[in-house]
Amino acid sequence: DAMVIQNPRYQVTQFGKPVTLSCSQTLNHNVMYWYQQKSSQAPKLLFHYYDKDFNNEADTPDNFQSRRPNTSFCFLDIRSPGLGDAAMYLCATSRVTLSSYNEQFFGPGTRLTVL
Amino acid sequence: AQSVTQLGSHVSVSEGALVLLRCNYSSSVPPYLFWYVQYPNQGLQLLLKYTTGATLVKGINGFEAEFKKSETSFHLTKPSAHMSDAAEYFCAVSVGTSYGKLTFGQGTILTVHP
């Protein structure tokens, strides 16, 4: 089945220790998104890739970076995690064209704990 | 800019009762509207969507929603709640930006009791 896969599902890191979260998709979608979701809150968009073009939301901290080496994979890098970065991180994909828009497909998420 | 308001952060119903989760949106252009469901420690799953055409849309698991432009609403309903419906539900709007950005409501936690 076509899907969005996130690894690992649970990640524990230490304060200030860089961490990378992974997302892959078999849907061949052109847009990939990263969201941060804190407890009892709505998902908050951090950034997205439209094909190879990276687009940052205005309020995304510099501590968060992303890479998309090919259509299928996208990574979220947190350079120096703080306690406030503990959250669920959701990857999503969509096929977006000039003439149509389809829904976003979400992965199962990675729950990040910062000690 | 678009926004979404979900009325009621918690809704509790009895098994077999009607489920009604309220969503109102604000948009200056015709919106695309979505309902997603999230179970604990999982990602979001699409329940249903409205883009154009018929204003009453049917989704998975017996849910449906009606787009009412005059009321700027997109309420989610299910005639008979099941225990497995207990989850958090998010309403979201997109106004067709070049990259399909979603704006989410704050979510409604649905509790179903026997």
DSSP string of A14-32?
-TT--EEEEEEESS--SEE
Q: Which of residues 2-41 of B touch A (CB under 8 A)?
A: 32, 34, 36, 41
Enter the DSSP assignment of B31. Answer: P
**pLDDT at residue B109, as a whole number:** 97
Residue B48: closest C-alpha in chain A: A103
Which of the residue ranges A57-71, A77-91, A99-113 would you say has the lowest mean pLDDT? A99-113
Q: Does A58 touch chain B (CB under 8 A)?
A: no
Ranges of chain B with pLDDT below 70: 96-98
Give residue-wise pLDDT tens across range B60-78: 999 999 999 999 999 999 9
User: In whole numbers, what is the pLDDT of chain B averaged over residues?
Assistant: 92
B58 Cβ contact list (under 8 Å, min separation 6): B48, B64
